[in-house]
Amino acid sequence: MKYVLVTGGVVSGLGKGITASSIGLILKACGLRVTSIKIDPYLNTDAGTMSPFEHGEVHVLDDGGEVDLDLGNYERFLDIKLTRDNNITTGKIYQSVIDKERKGDYLGQTVQVVPHITDAIQEWIERVASTPVDGKEGPADVCVIELGGTIGDIESIPFIEALGQFSYRVGAGNFCLIHVSLVPVLTVVGEQKTKPTQHSVKELRSLGLAANILACRSTTELDGNAKKKLSRFCHVPIENIITLYDVSNIWRVPLLLRDQKAHEAILKVLNLICDTKEPALEEWTSRADLCDLLHEPVRIAMVGKYTGVADSYLSVLKALLHASVACHRKLCVDWVPASDLEDATREENPNAYKSAWKLLKAADGILVPGGFGDRGVEGKILSAKYAREKKIPYLGICLGMQIAVIEFARSVLGLHDANSTEFDPNTQNPCVIFMPEGSKTHMGGTMRLGSRRTYFQGASSKSAKLYGNQSYIDERHRHRYEVNPDMVLRLEEAGLAFAGKDENGNRMEIIELPGHPYFVGVQFHPEFKSRPGKPSALFLGLVAAASGPGGRSFEEKYQKE
């Protein structure tokens, strides 16, 4: 097994996740089998209870793991299926060591960070790295490990110590360290400044790790003088210094690495140069080129609670991008804060209210993603009502499906107090209820999580056709509330179609409005399994419906309304 460790220096947010994913992709394109691990030094057991404002979206895996969003990047770039164990956290490591201590596995010993915690980290890495994630038998050839945070952070010290020991134990030809660092350009003098990277590499060496390759983030390509200076002070060959400068779309990052022979540098360090071929990235290149050439827009209004942080809906955005490229449309996402659509905002902030409705009315399609809590719920309900009445293509995911059911019950059934017990525990018409198997005392890992099967109720629905007329599908879930089974018959009689149900027929998975160009709600999260070149069926349906003939410009749509 060969290991590639990706670390970051100077500042956070440099794109280590995309870099690690791109490295994995280019090695896979060379004919190697690749797996990935993300190390997050926080004390949380997993990302499940963290706010999207704090840490971006929670990515859900097939096995129900609630993990860091970077694992979503790995899955999309490498087209693999990871497990919860591919995301290592301080909480998981300490919990495993404490559990062993309580069982008596360390009887008579003083349990310490070194060697017990560091050994647990190394054992976890080796165990997970040998687990196949690409559907084939046997372990992968290379494991790409991303260490979260920035070198020098106090919480990552045990991991750095463990990785230093690990690199020594597996040997020089089996371990390659790529350090992602910032080379800023000061606008005053226009010079690329290498000192921050020099200090970051010095800090890395002081902790027992030496960089084999430098991946330097900058606005422009590094000039020769900057590379020479970095090579001299960081003890890295010039040919092993890669520039990760700004590109038109993230699909160009692997191509950037290929063009600078990054794969050759990595393979040389890992003694794999004779066992591989040139990276086969023709399909990837054509997709990146197509993405840049698209000019005819499709406008999707994203009506959400966390619209101020794009990473909160990262997988949704990527799924929309995959679908729009497949439909040969340039994706334009208009962020609509759900609470700005509500009547209360019209009184408190008329400009925000007018702006939100302007964006919604100008959209070719409306998407309401998942979320928790009651803030903005009435605004989401209003957006579903607008999409239903005005025949605007609509996709509701998780909560987005639930609010569509609530809106239908209010407007069509006349149940004006219809609601979810999540938002109104005392509602007389609970359209959405707490699932009986859920826990009301423990929040972490207690939802209905992971891959679950949905059976189509006939082949005539749009969703069934989009999925290729399969009898069932497996999609990933993350929810505590469900459509009230006692309300289903009344909703169906009023015209709402439940196109997909669980294996028992009691849990509603897909809703549709017959006669509407595209009005679909799903309890699951189709975005998590969307891939470049293999877009999610339901996102493809939304974008295709929104890209229909006779499209109007942004101004025309708003003026007409």
Mean pLDDT over residues 547-558, rounded? 50
Task: Give the model confidence (pLDDT) of 423-449 as tens digits.
Answer: 999 999 999 999 988 787 787 878 999
Q: Rounded to an integer, what distance in angstroms lies between the CA atom of residue 379 and that of residue 302?
A: 12
Q: Rounded to an integer, what distance in angstroms lies between the CA atom of residue 538 and that of residue 129?
A: 33
Q: Single out the catalytic residue among 179, 263, 479, 525.
A: 525
Task: Give the model confidence (pLDDT) of 53-88 as tens digits.
Answer: 888 899 999 999 999 999 999 999 999 999 999 999
* Token duo for residue 205: 């060496």
What's the pLDDT score for residue 44? 93
What's the pLDDT score for residue 549? 64
Task: Give the model confidence (pLDDT) of 328-337 as tens digits.
Answer: 999 999 999 9
Q: How many CA atoms lie within 13 A of 164 on its CB side?
A: 15
Nearest to 312 by CA among 44, 55, 17: 55
Q: Rounded to an integer, what distance in angstroms lies between the CA atom of residue 323 and that of residue 316?
A: 11
The mean pLDDT value of the chain amounts to 93
Mean pLDDT over residues 409-417, rounded? 95
Task: Decide: pTM greater than 0.75.
Answer: yes
Active site annotation includes 516: no
Active site annotation includes 525: yes
Task: Give the model confidence (pLDDT) of 501-511 as tens digits.
Answer: 999 999 999 99
* Token duo for residue 335: 């962020």
Q: Single out the catalytic residue among 398, 407, 475, 477.
A: 398
Ordered alpha helix ranges (H), 412-553: 462-466, 488-493, 537-546
Coil, strand or helix at 29: helix
Q: Are 420 and 545 in contact (CB under 8 A)?
A: no
Share of the chain above pLDDT 70, in %: 98
What DSSP line would sit under 341-388, residue for residue? GSHHHHHH-HHHHHHHHHHHHT-SEEEE----SSTTHHHHHHHHHHHH
Task: Give the model confidence (pLDDT) of 347-393 as tens digits.
Answer: 999 999 999 999 999 999 999 999 888 899 999 999 999 999 999 99
Task: Give the model confidence (pLDDT) of 175-221 as tens digits.
Answer: 999 999 999 988 777 789 999 999 999 999 999 999 999 999 999 89
Q: Rounded to an integer, what distance in angstroms lies between the CA atom of residue 429 and that of residue 417?
A: 6
Share of the chain above pLDDT 90, in %: 86
What's the pLDDT score for residue 4? 98
Q: Single out the catalytic residue among 75, 146, 422, 527.
A: 527
Active site annotation includes 55: no
The CA-atom distances, in angstroms, between 311 and each of 6, 56, 73, 519 are: 21, 5, 12, 26
Q: Rounded to an integer, what distance in angstroms lies between the CA atom of residue 278 and that of residue 400?
A: 45
What one-letter code names the amino acid at 355? S
Q: Which helix (H) or strand (E) holds 36?
A: strand 34-40
What's the pLDDT score for residue 310? 83
267 — alpha (psi -120 to 50), left (phi > 0) or beta? alpha
Q: Is the pLDDT of residue 478 over 50?
A: yes
